[in-house]
Amino acid sequence: MPKITLPDGSKKEVPNNTTLYDIAKDISNSLVKVAVAGKINGQLKDLSVAVEDDCNVEIIKKNDDEGIEIVRHSFAHLIGHAIKQLYPDAKMAIGPVIKNGFYYDIDCNKSFNEDELILIENKIKDLVKKNYAVIKKVVTRQEALKVFSDRNEPYKQEIVQEIPEGEEIALYFHQEYIDMCRGPHVPNTKFLKHFKLTKVSGAYWRGNSDNKMLQRIYGTAWDKKEELDDYLKKLEDAEKRDHRKIGKQQDLFHFQEEAPGMVFWHHKGWTIYQLLKTFMRKINLESGYKEINTPQILDRTLWERSGHWDKFGDMIFTTHSEKRDYAVKPMSCPGHLQVFNQGLKSYKDLPFKLCEFGLVHRNEPSGTLHGLMRARQFVQDDAHIFCTESQLHDEITKLIKLTFKVYNNLGFENIKVAFSTRPEKKVGSDDIWNKSEKILENSLKENVPDYITLPGEGAFYGPKIEFTLTDSLGREWQCGTVQLDFSMPSALSASYINEKGDKASPVMVHRAILGSMERFIGILIEHYAGKLPFWLCPEQIIIVNITDKHVEFAEKIEKTFKDKGFRCSSDLRNEKIGYKIREHIIAKIPYVVIIGDEEISSNKISVRQYDGTEHKLISAEDFIIKLNSKKTH
């Protein structure tokens, strides 16, 4: 009989063919009521799976992190069940779990809108109420193909064909509906209670724009109703903060079909962009970087030598001229190496630091484009340090501290750090990778002891440190990176003269703090719900007059603020003062200065702040003193 070891260290023998469900029930009736899956030697399994040999066993409850994932995955199958009952001719593709939820891609002649979502959601609720058992059956490739052929499910057949020979194929039976999955899944729909279908979007099959566009239904599911309600409230808040919506409301930018994934900056939005750029330029200057600018189009051979062509070829825009192939710059690294290569460098010149606000283009799939957050044209706050191996520890430490400083100054305190190690496809020897990873790891242990490790997530040329911000809604945004690269400098013939008078290749450190200027502005807009810090506001002060007789004094006050360096304008329209104040408060202008009879007679101003605070009859000079402390970050 197999001997099992439970998480508390206790051991017991169980009869042959004992399932994980049997083990849960034997432990306690209360446990089996909340058990949705189990683990055998650390591998997730359905409760219907039997233990065969001596092993470690753990029961997964519905409110465990892994249990919630299983609940969400099972809800994805319920979308399939509901869809096939409502639209029998629909073809089901894939339905995976994502962060906080799940989705299913569907090929259906019926176009799903909000009304259809409600219909599908109600059908799922009806199915849940039936408390039916979800039954798993392991089948052969031929059996799976026949099942999905008989049911006219071409996407499932395609997936089956690609499963490696000998790998288990499991079908899950939801009454008359059959789906295929690695599992595990809940044993019964009684565990599927608190959910919501959230939206519909388009998605190409396999993410390839050459394939058919499918409809993707998203949903979320939680263990408790309170958790679901809290998440839906966050979604509602996120929708209100959507940078695209605020961008339109505040006249910051727009997108249009003639330039997909490329932003049209309006004056106010471009002002934010320039202010952020000035902030980063000052940071770079103080940190010893020399700002450069490199060409937008470079010969294809350069990208082949750097390794980018093989890695990113599908995402590179290309052009052709005079029998030569060119790439539109997807990143700045090779260009910076060309600048480094100009003129003989000595070890005394190192570290040699270059930075660029590099305009880059990447051919992102159209279905993934999302305003400023995912664009085809964007600017990176790119920088590279060329140094010796002995200088790496100090330089990496400086970069970690600098990155934290920038994020704190921009209003982000909760910053997570991850260490990404060598990917499967990489350049460079194992010795180089071992050395690179050790250097980054030592710097992290010294400066960020609570970092996490992401195996296989490094760049193709070297390991990296990733910085992730948490915004005011608790959402995480991966932004900054520090990447170590021993390979690209030698691939592009970069060298310096070392202390012995010999040629040597420098080590290259790739660094971006904001990542993409566009994306970071989108994050800032949503983090602050459009009410940016005073120093980043495109319009800091608006002067409003009550009647036409107050225009002259209003213009004088406007000039006073402008002369002191504030971004100020006047609204002198013949509108009611209440209407004008409300309009500018909605536009999130920090200060509305009101000019009327009292203000003119006292030679003072009255101010209404965005948060409702009022300053009645204060001199412009005293108010400027108050503002000066907020003028810079």
**Active site positions, annotated:** 333, 362, 380, 382, 384, 464, 510
Helices assigned H by DSSP within 171-288? 225-241, 243-249, 267-286
- Which one, of 409, 531, 511, 509, lies nearest residue 469 by Cα? 409
How many Cβ atoms are within 10 Å of 240's Cβ, its own excluded? 12
The strand pairing partners of 196, in sequence order, are 220
C-alpha dist (Å) from residue 530 to 40, 120, 382, 471, 521: 49, 35, 26, 13, 10
β 297-299/568-571 pair status: unpaired
Give helix then strand counts, H and E, for the chain: 20, 33
Residue-by-residue DSSP string for 471-522: -TTS-EEEEEEEEEESSHHHHTT--EE-TTS-EEPPEEEEEEEEEEHHHHHH
Measured over the CA atoms of residue 620, residue 625, residue 631 and residue 633, the dihedral's sign is negative
* Contacts within 8 Å (CB) and 24+ apart, 321-326: 324/299, 324/300, 325/299, 325/300, 326/297, 326/298, 326/299, 326/300
* Contacts within 8 Å (CB) and 24+ apart, 574-583: 574/548, 577/544, 577/545, 577/546, 580/544, 581/544, 581/608
Residue-by-residue DSSP string for 389-443: GGGHHHHHHHHHHHHHHHHHHTT---EEEEEE---SS--S-HHHHHHHHHHHHHH
Distance, in Å, from the CA atom of 206 to the CA atom of 231, rounded to the nearest integer, reads: 29
Contacts of 632 (CB under 8 A, 6+ apart): 535
From the number of C-beta atoms within 10 Å of its C-beta (0-12, 13-18, 19+), residue 253 rates as buried
Residue with tokens 């058919």: 212
Distance, in Å, from the CA atom of 585 to the CA atom of 142, rounded to the nearest integer, reads: 66
Question: 518 phi and psi, to 5 degrees?
Answer: -60, -50
Judge whether 268 and 250 are in contact, CB under 8 Å. Answer: yes
β 541-545/568-571 pair status: parallel
Peptide bond preceding 351 in cis form (omega within 30 of 0): yes
Distance, in Å, from the CA atom of 560 to the CA atom of 339, rounded to the nearest integer, reads: 46
How many Cβ atoms are within 10 Å of 530's Cβ, its own excluded? 21
C-alpha dist (Å) from residue 20 to 47, 68, 131: 5, 18, 20
Residue with tokens 């609204």: 571
Distance, in Å, from the CA atom of 40 to the CA atom of 20, rounded to the nearest integer, reads: 9
Q: Which strand (E) or helix (H) includes residue 554?
A: helix 551-563
Coil, strand or helix at 289: coil
Tokens of 452: 């996490």
